[in-house]
Chains A and B, each alone.
Chain A
Amino acid sequence: MTQTFDASTRTEAPVGADEMTALRGFLDYHRDTFRMKCAGLTQEQLAQTHPPSAMTLGGMMKHLALNEVGWFGKTLGDVPYPPLFESVDWESDPDWEWRTGAEDDPQELRATYDDCVRRADDAIDEALARGGLDAESVGKDSSGDPFRLRWIMLHMIEEYARHNGHADLLREAVDGETGE
């Protein structure tokens, strides 16, 4: 069983919007673009690499799920990881999500991803209500200062867009599919 995504439902960022609407629009656009790049592929295809890089689309989906609950959940809102990630021994297995994402069933992987996006959106709503895009994160950076929601939103957009660039080349190598 593969994942499905209807490209005609992909969110577009509105062209004349305020800051918050624009940032959420671009984030949703890239989440949907990534769902599109993974749709229709079997577990074996999601586990395929494009050498010399070791990245896989399956690993990337679990990595981005972790980023969602890491940045928006844990760092921004101090929300604990979902049980799936909470029990991992990150010290001894730092690439756990990349490694195991390539072995997961496509539909289970997508359900994990969609669940992490929902949790992230809840944390964004909570922070916006608390302080708008200037809202400070509960977690701190290496010098002990909080992040602001504005920076985290832009960081996640760049994180997704960069990985969608990797996904473009991985997907084209798997079955020839291309497209923005």
Chain B
Amino acid sequence: MTEPETETETQSFDEATRVDPPLRSDEVTILRGFLDYHRDTLRWKCSGLTAEQLAVSLPPSDMTLGGMMKHLAAVESSWFDRVFSGGELMPPFDTVDWTNDPDWEWRTAADDTPAQLRSLFDASVERADAVISSALQTDAGLGSLSAQGTRRAPTEQFSLRWILVHMIEEYCRHNGHADLIRQSIDGETGE
């Protein structure tokens, strides 16, 4: 007799590996330090949860931790692959009909396993880091300008500096959501 396979797979993240942003450092090191810290905070908030738990919301909000992880993968690719580099979104985001299904990544996360969500997220971070590193090797550094401009004015370009600070606040805001959702799932709290 073999036991039926149960869905107990979760993501893992060792909180001890999360690195505090450096206290006394140059602008580039400190911005990348804060960004990595908050990427790891999201990994930590999502770790140890089953697919069912990653699909739980805290009403009246309909956000889920799984949806949030897939959303932030899309946000990484949107800012770094598309806006900054002027290229296409990474798969699977490149073939989505965003006009008719603007919340696709939030909606479809419930169909993914925890491991699939985490590997998509990790891949998006790896691609983004490659874009950041190559831009920082140019003379313009953090002042490097994006290929695409703002919605209100295509000639109004974003600096890499602005995009990095924006990504830090984007993660922090969502980690604030994640704090309350995680606490409602299993009581876990922590900065």
Interface residues on A, range: 35 or more
Residues of chain B lying within 8 A (CB to CB) of residue A169: 58, 61, 176-177, 180
CB contacts (< 8 Å) of A53 on chain B: these are 179-180, 183-184
The 6 closest A-B CB pairs, nearest first, are A165-B176, A161-B172, A161-B169, A165-B173, A162-B176, A162-B172
Q: A170 to nearest B CB, angstroms?
A: 8
Which among A147, A160, A162 is the interface contact of B23 at CB below 8 angstroms?
A147
Q: Min CB distance, B148 to chain A, in Å?
A: 11
Distance of A138 from chain B, by nearest CB (Å): 15
Does B34 count as interface, using CB distance less than 8 angstroms?
Answer: yes
What residues on B are CB-neighbors of A30 within 8 Å?
Answer: 169
By the criterion CB–CB under 8 Å, are A15 and B176 in contact? Answer: no
Q: Is B158 an interface residue (CB 8 A)?
A: yes
Question: In chain A, what residue has the closest Cβ to B163?
Answer: A15
CA distance A19 to B27 in the complex (A): 8
Whether the pair A148, B176 counts as a contact (CB closer than 8 A) is no
Main secondary structure of the interface of A (DSSP, over half): helix
B156 interfacial by beta-carbon distance below 8 Å = yes
A95 interface hit (Cβ, 8 Å): no
On whether the beta carbons of B176 and A164 are closer than 8 Å, the reply is yes
Known interface pairs A13-B166, A26-B166, A147-B24; 4 further A-B residue pairs with C-beta atoms within 8 A, sorted by A's residue number = A22-B162, A50-B58, A158-B169, A169-B177
* B149-187 vs A, Cβ < 8 Å mask (1 yes, 0 no): 010000011110110011011111111111110011001
In this complex, the member of B21, B159, B169, B176 whose beta carbon has the largest number of chain A beta carbons within 10 angstroms is B169
